Structure 1
Amino acid sequence: MTDDDTPLLSRKVIAGAIVFAGIVAIAVFILVSPVAAVATFVLALIMALITLTDLKHFIIPNALSFPAVPLGIIANIAVFHADDWTAGLTESLLGAVLAGGSFYLLRAVWFRLRRYEGLGLGDVKLAAVAGAWLGPALLPTACLTAALAGLAGVAVMAILPGRRIDMTDQIPFGSFIAPVVLVFWVLRLLEPVSFW
């Protein structure tokens, strides 16, 4: 909710996000376990809502990012480390701390050098979500992919007629991070699947 208690997204958009998450989960269910499909549904729903909210309002609500970290830990344990929950817990916590800490450090350095925020705290929290779901091994590639997607988005904005890009323009970076987290989660799930 915003300060005036109006919803950030309409019911139609939320319903669309639920349908999207259901489609992703059903597509994955064909190839993976039911537990992995449920985890994918939860992640797809959260990432869709974060993407749409950040695109429209330039914020990532705590109501979405805070529960996504423990859900990522649970999903990582249930899907990839059911036989050794401590390994899954360690992997998720390490990923969350590394990603969230790196993004926070980048945010602090940028502010120190430029005297304005170049990265929001919502993006820092979303990075921690990414780490909890993906673990540390996939983080460098996922972060690079999100950054390249963000740069491509800025390039498209720059070539639009009548549009001028300035260093202080806001970019909904969470809208690039969130889809990448979902894609890398699905790739992680499908890694052991043989298609031929």
Structure 2
Amino acid sequence: MPIDRGYSLEHMLPALPIPIAGALLGLIIGSFLATLILRWPEGRSVMSGRSSCDHCGHQLRIWELIPVASYLLQRGKCRQCGQEVAPDHIAIEIAAGLIGGLALFAAPGPEGLAGAVFGWVLLTLGALDANHHWLPDRLTVVLAVSGLVASVLLVPVELIDRLIGGLLGFASLAIVAGLYRYVRGREGLGGGDPKMLAGIGCWLGWQTLPLVILGASFVGLLVALSWQVRGKIMTADSLLPLGSLMAVVAFPLWLYQAAGDGLLY
């Protein structure tokens, strides 16, 4: 006899427009995030003025701003000066689109939209950490506050679990950073890492924090192995962006939580 998993293709098909809409929204959000990630570390605003080429200043028309499609049609180059557009731009757009689609597939409705916001903030923090080893306080605060607000308004969990998650997330990495500094006499963790883990704890609860750290360590090991395969020399001073590694793990954990509450049962 076939196993009844509690859902079927016929049951899921009517809901597909919701995650598709989430993916499309994610592509639009991703276009903004890609610009933010490029310009914020340089002190340039993304809110004032029209979008333009970062090389020649050519003001982009509407058809040059369509996420992913414009990049592909223009072969990744500016139509005016022919300079290549940073490939990170399309990567961020695609990642944001996947986040929006997956979040609303796992939890169609307000909870899924909140989860997409969680993923988009993680994506921004992860990209900034990977490229600049920088986790802005303003974004880590947004991560924490949005997690607590979501737990109060949308997610049927105890707020105390999220508050403990925030406190333990910050304290655990702050203690590790302090011990490393005491033993080695130099910084081993950035100041933003404990704040980011606190924000993740505010979203996922304290119970998931060991999984976040273990998962980030495993992903970091894979990254280090890939560096060695490509001939990149690893030393004790080589920097791995812990914020990026935690971001890679945290959003799938949210998907698992959301799917466990609805989609899979």
TM over 0.5: yes
> 2:261 aligned to 186, 192, 196, which one?
192
Question: RCO higher in 1 or 2 (8 Å CA, sep ≥ 6)?
Answer: 1
1:175 paired residue number: 244
Q: 1:30 to 1:156 in 2, by over 3 A?
A: closer
Unmatched 5+ stretches in structure 1: none
Taking the aligned partners of 1:64 and 1:19, their CA distance within structure 2 comes to 21
Name the TM-score, length of structure 2 as normaliser: 0.64
- Tell me if the contact between 1:39 and 1:75 (Cα under 8 Å) persists in the aligned partners: yes
Tell me the percent identity.
Answer: 21
C-alpha deviations, 1:146-168, integer Å up to 9, x for none? 1111122122213322x221111
Residue 190 of structure 1, CA deviation: 0.7
C-alpha deviations, 1:59-96, integer Å up to 9, x for none? 112221111101011122333237xxxx32x1111001
Taking the aligned partners of 1:5 and 1:30, their CA distance within structure 2 comes to 36
2:130 paired residue number: 55
Q: Superposition pairs for residues 78-157 of structure 1, below 5 Å?
A: 78-81=153-156, 87-88=158-159, 90-157=160-227
1:73 paired residue number: 148
Deviates more, 1:31-40 or 1:93-102: 31-40
Taking the aligned partners of 1:14 and 1:45, their CA distance within structure 2 comes to 14
C-alpha deviations, 1:126-150, integer Å up to 9, x for none? 1111111110111111211111111
Taking the aligned partners of 2:233 and 2:105, their CA distance within structure 1 comes to 46
Matched, 1:5 2:43: yes
Deviates more, 1:149-158 or 1:20-29: 20-29
Taking the aligned partners of 1:47 and 1:14, their CA distance within structure 2 comes to 16
Bigger fraction of residues in helix: 1
Q: Counterpart amino acid of 1:164?
A: I
Q: Counterpart amino acid of 2:213?
A: C
Secondary structure in 2 matching 1:99: helix
Q: Counterpart amino acid of 2:129?
A: D
* Matched positions, count: 188
Q: 1:81 to 1:192 in 2, by over 3 A?
A: closer
Q: 1:159 to 1:106 in 2, by over 3 A?
A: same
Secondary structure in 2 matching 1:171: coil
Unmatched 5+ stretches in structure 2: 1-39, 47-53, 55-64, 66-85
Q: Counterpart amino acid of 2:141?
A: F
Taking the aligned partners of 1:60 and 1:140, their CA distance within structure 2 comes to 21
Q: Counterpart amino acid of 2:183?
A: L
Output the aligned Cα RMSD: 2.5
- Tell me if the contact between 2:123 and 2:247 (Cα under 8 Å) persists in the aligned partners: yes
Residue 23 of structure 1, CA deviation: 3.5
Taking the aligned partners of 1:170 and 1:23, their CA distance within structure 2 comes to 28
Residue 54 of structure 1, CA deviation: 1.0
- Tell me if the contact between 1:98 and 1:136 (Cα under 8 Å) persists in the aligned partners: yes
